[in-house]
Structure 1
Amino acid sequence: MTSFAEKSGIHDAAREAALAHTAGLIDASGLELVRFVWCDVHGVLRSKTLVASAAADAMRDGVGLVSTLLLKDTSDRTAFKVFEPGGAAELPGFEFASNVMLLADPTSFKQLPWTQSTGWLRAQPYMQDGTPVELDTRRVLQRALERLAAAGYGLKCGLEVEFHIYKIEDRQAQLDPEQAAWPGLPPRVSMVHPGYNLLADGWYDMAEEPMRIVQRTAQALGLPLLSLEIELGPSQVEAVFNATDALTAADNMVLFRNAVKQALLRAGYHATFMCRPPFPNIMSSGWHLHQSLVDLKTGANAFKR
């Protein structure tokens, strides 16, 4: 019987070998759960968590995902009226919130370092007929890189990521069912360093506990972390990564942001990658996205004079 991965045209002998290798790792590691994770149009990771014994079949036959997750605004409300006649006329295949299918890349497997017995796989959505979902953000980048490659070039990127870390002091209001709202209330937080002293070693020492969590999480996931730094803003920090090809850099950024937020939260910290947290006298966060074009034939930097 033809699997959904075969129907989608992505399954070959190499993928089957990678799938068998990953299934073996899942079994040998004694994992109980595997998260099939996909990055939405706003950079938020969504996942379905399967029991470990179901992972191999899911890598072949896909995991169903409601298609409205591709149509959300930043408040997580569906932006298209998919249940009304003509509401999804410009989006064939999305009518009435029909499912898309997630297919995971077996070579993306990670064992999560901040939780027990849990694996992680990066996935991308496909329509039910096996065609790729072109609204998928990773697919958009892949298509752009294909056009660039047709012109003879590759893109290399180096990430410098600014973000804020806060210590959670009180989550009562955030988790109080009487105050549940859309969006909900934030926790009460305090800073991990007072800021206004760029690269101050004393401020780094003050913030070392959460910074160590960032370091250990990134390295345990195999991310090419180079340095951790105290930024100018209050409670603002920066992580610097070695340069990679553009698709790997994008994958690394998505994984890093999600992993850091989850690992820090378990230790009582809140990490935010929003540009400007809602506090007075704060410094906005951005990033330095170092870019260079690479000649695919020679490997030379096309930006170099």
Structure 2
Amino acid sequence: MSSFAQRCGIQDAAREQAVRRLGRLLGEQGTELVRISWCDLHGVLRGKTLVASAVERALREGVGLVSTLMLKDTSDRTAFKVFEPGGTATLPGFGNAPNLMLLADPESFQQLPWTPSSGWLRAQPWFQDGQPVELDTRRVLQRALAKLADAGYTMKCGLEVEFHVYKLKDAQPQLDPMLAAWPGPAPEVSLVHPGYNLLAEGWYDLAEEPLRIVQHTAQALGLPLLSLEVELGPSQVEAVFEATDALTAADNMVLFRNAVKMALRRAGYHATFMCRPPFPNIMSSGWHLHQSLLDARTGRNVFRREAPEPGTDVTHAAHTLSALGEHFLAGLLAHARGMTVFCTPTANGFGRFRPNALAPQSVLWGRDNRGAMLRVIGACGDEATRIENRIGEPAANPYLYFASQVHAGLDGIARGLKAPPATDAPYAGAGESLPTSLGDALAALQADAVLCEAFGRDFVAYFTRIKQSEQQRFEAAEDPDEFQRREYFARF
């Protein structure tokens, strides 16, 4: 009888060899437990922990996972009425909360550095009939990258991620059973550095203990960490990673974000990728995405220009970017409002879009300008020429963030769009404004026909329904700050 992986069409000879090889490795390393993990809509890892002896079978037959995990908003409430007639009419296969099946990639195995004798595997969900769950966000990016490959390109991404690390005062009130709630209270914390002294070595020294944990965790997981830095805000830090292909970069972001939170928690720290932690005088955290396209055949950076286009100056995209690079840039601008909710998906993140805050306010690009939404970096003949999108928050689901860039950029290429002149005054009121709330951003997505078609209208309807649940609860909250403390600071 065929295995579930065979019925899904993924169990070839190479995968079977990898399954057996992993089985031997688990025995040789003395691994006792393996976490089979899947990335949910909000970029958070979920899954089950198996004893090592059960892993090989799970790689062939799958692991059951309740399907409502795909229907949760940020509070873990199910946004669809799965037990009511018609409640999942737009979501075939989800009615009455059946199981999905997780199939892990045996090549993704990691030995977890912060917990003894424990391993980790990345998985994706399948329906029990062997069909892929197309709403899975990693598949959304895989489809976008396949479309990019059909056009002859691959995508290269570099991650520059700001976040906050705090010292836990104690486990209370989160673990006090008398205070349990849905969501529960946020942890009580203190700063690891006082801030407002950007890149100060003295502040780095204060924060070195948790940053060492971040360093050792990332490196033990094989993540291409380049630097750790003290940012401007109190307790704010930044991690920068070497550029990789887009799918690897997205996988790395999911693993990094979840791993450092767990490793730091065990050492008495709380890491949050919430954009604006719930304290006075904080600085917003951004996730700056560096991106370029490569020729799939030669590996050449197709954004690179050898010489400025005649008659241009630095305010023209064609002075720095190739014609294709300009089209991609223009596509990002054309769909900026529609893509915003994939880049900044929480109600909290929109507080970052403020003037003179190194964060964008308007749909503008600039030549090496950190106030603009899109920053063009590089020069003629520079193989590292790229576009930096500064609209993202660090809590974003990377698969959706990246997919939005691919779809917007490809539309710019397909239509041969031209970019407007670069800005040198990003906060002067020029350019179309970015959405100012989660509700506005969802409306902008629904109004963008190109992105709706590219992501698939079924996915957009599903995503919008879940994010509207979050937005409605935020608008109804008696205390919006407490809502954000519980909903984002404690969980993200």
What TM-score, normalized to structure 1? 0.99
Q: Who is 1:178 aligned against?
A: 178
Map 1:28-39 onto structure 2 (within 5 A).
28-39=28-39
| Distance of 2:51 and 2:152 partners within structure 1 | 43
- The one-character-per-residue Cα deviations of 1:251-272 (angstroms, maximum 9, x if unpaired) are 0000000100000000000000
Hey, what's the Cα distance between the residues in 1 that align with 2:14 and 2:141? 23
In 2, Cα distance between the equivalents of 1:153 and 1:203? 42
Instruction: Choose 1 or 2 for highest CA Rg.
Output: 2
Aligned CA-pair RMSD = 0.6
1:94 aligns with 2:94: yes
Q: Secondary structure, in 3 states, of the residue corresponding to 2:169?
A: strand
Asked if residue 140 in structure 1 is aligned to residue 140 in structure 2, the reply is yes
Distance 2:178 2:11 in 1: 49
Aligned to 1:297: 297
> Hey, what does 1:149 align to over in structure 2?
149
The correspondence of residues 193-204 of structure 1 with structure 2, limited to 5 A, is 193-204=193-204
The residue type equivalent to 2:164 in the other structure is H
Deviation of the 1:111 alpha carbon: 0.6
1:47 Cα deviation from its structure 2 partner: 1.5
Tell me how far apart the structure 1 counterparts of residues 3 and 303 of structure 2 sit (CA, whole Å).
Answer: 44
1:170-227 superposed Cα distances (whole Å, 9 cap, x missing partner): 2222111111111101111000001111111110001000000000000001000011
Matches within 5 A, 1:73-88: 73-88=73-88
Distance in 2, matches of 1:174 and 1:72, equals: 21
Partner of 1:229: 229
Distance 2:19 2:155 in 1: 28
Q: Matches of 2:22 and 2:211 in 1, distance apart?
A: 31
Matches within 5 A, 1:214-293: 214-293=214-293
Instruction: Name the one with the larger strand percent.
Output: 1
TM-superposed CA distance for 1:108, in Å, is 0.1
* Structure 1 residue 80, shift from structure 2 partner: 0.3
Give the TM-score normalised by structure 2. Answer: 0.62
For 2:171 and 2:299, locate their aligned partners in 1 and report how far apart those are by CA, in whole Å: 51
For residues 173 and 148 of structure 1, the distance between their equivalents in structure 2, rounded to whole angstroms, comes to 48
- Paired with 2:287 and 2:95, the residues of 1 have a C-alpha distance of 37
Structure 1 runs of 4+ with >4 Å offset: none
Aligned to 2:115: 115
**Separation (CA, whole Å) in 2 of partners of 1:175 and 1:284:** 28
Query: Structure 2 regions of 5+ residues with no counterpart?
Result: 306-492
**Equivalent pair of 2:47/2:65 in contact (CA under 8 Å):** no
- Matching residue of 2:9: 9
Q: Secondary structure in 2 aligned to 1:275?
A: coil
Higher helix share: 2
Secondary structure at the counterpart of residue 92 of structure 2: coil
The one-letter amino acid paired with 1:16 is E
Deviation at 1:287, TM superposition (A): 1.2
Q: Compute the displacement of 1:24 (Å).
A: 1.0
Q: Please give the alpha-carbon distance, in whole angstroms, between the structure 2 residues aligned to 1:200 and 1:172.
A: 32
Is 2:35–2:49's contact at 8 Å kept on the other side of the alignment?
yes
The answer to whether the aligner puts 1:166 opposite 2:148 as a matched pair is: no
| Partner-residue secondary structure (3-state), 1:263 | helix
Q: Give the aligned partner of residue 476 of structure 2.
A: none
- In 1, Cα distance between equivalents of 2:113 and 2:282: 31
> In the alignment, does 2:206 pair up with 1:206?
yes
Q: Distance in 1 between matches of 2:286 and 2:138?
A: 21
Separation (CA, whole Å) in 1 of partners of 2:118 and 2:32: 6
Q: How many residues align?
A: 305
Q: SS where residue 129 of structure 2 aligns?
A: coil
Q: Residue type of the partner of 1:131?
A: Q
Aligned equivalent of 2:401: none
- Match of 2:262, as an amino acid? Q
Choose between structure 1 and 2 for higher RCO, CA contacts under 8 A separated by at least 6 residues.
1
Equivalents in 1 of 2:16, 2:90: separation in Å?
A: 36
**C-alpha distance in 2, partners of 1:129/1:176?**
43
Note the residue ranges of structure 1 that are not aligned, 5 or more in a row: none
